[in-house]
Amino acid sequence: MRRRTGRFRRRVNRSRTCGLLRSVCPAQVQKPIVGKLNIYIFNDIYIAIVDTDPQDFIPLKTHWFHILLALAGGEQHGYGIMQEVLQRTSGKVRLWPATLYGSIKRLIEAELIEESAERPAPELDDARRRYYRLTPFGRRVLDAECDRLQELVRMIRVKQVVATP
């Protein structure tokens, strides 16, 4: 940790629970995207810890769900995600570039996905492409959403059986 101007110090992000990498002033605490914000004071150093739970994201936005599902099979670039979603939904869900890359930006901020450092050989792929992959936390959120959707389907089937004479 290094000393910053004033009485606040910058923290180093060492784990997923310390996802708020900002100098924190108790009077101006910025809220994270999701989760509970806890502030601890150790030797005049303010430390903000964000406790996140996969259930905080449920129900998932439709575009987020399709992007996470596309990345469940492995790393992909943006255009590959767009094409997989279009193919998997038989053209019913189309992720336009503004929607796709805006969602990717928010998913990265929420630490559900991350940009991959690994790249294919330059002669096999365009060097401008960015590849994305699920984080372990992103996989837990996707699993929680899949469980929720399976429960909805189960309830629909029970209702259909009861409704038919």
Query: Could you read off the pLDDT of 58-91 as tens digits, one per residue?
Result: 899 999 999 999 999 999 999 999 999 999 999 9
List the beta bridge partners of residue 36.
51
Bond into 59 cis (ω within 30): yes
CA dist 125 and 165 (Å) reads: 58
| Mean per-residue pLDDT of the chain | 78
Reported pTM: 0.67
Q: Are 95 and 85 in contact (CB under 8 A)?
A: yes
For 135: left if phi > 0, alpha if psi spans -120 to 50, otherwise beta; the answer is: beta
Query: Could you read off the pLDDT of 92-113 as tens digits, one per residue?
Result: 999 999 999 999 999 999 999 9
Domains of the chain: 2-52 (no CATH), 56-163 (1.10.10.10)
pLDDT for 117 beyond 70? yes
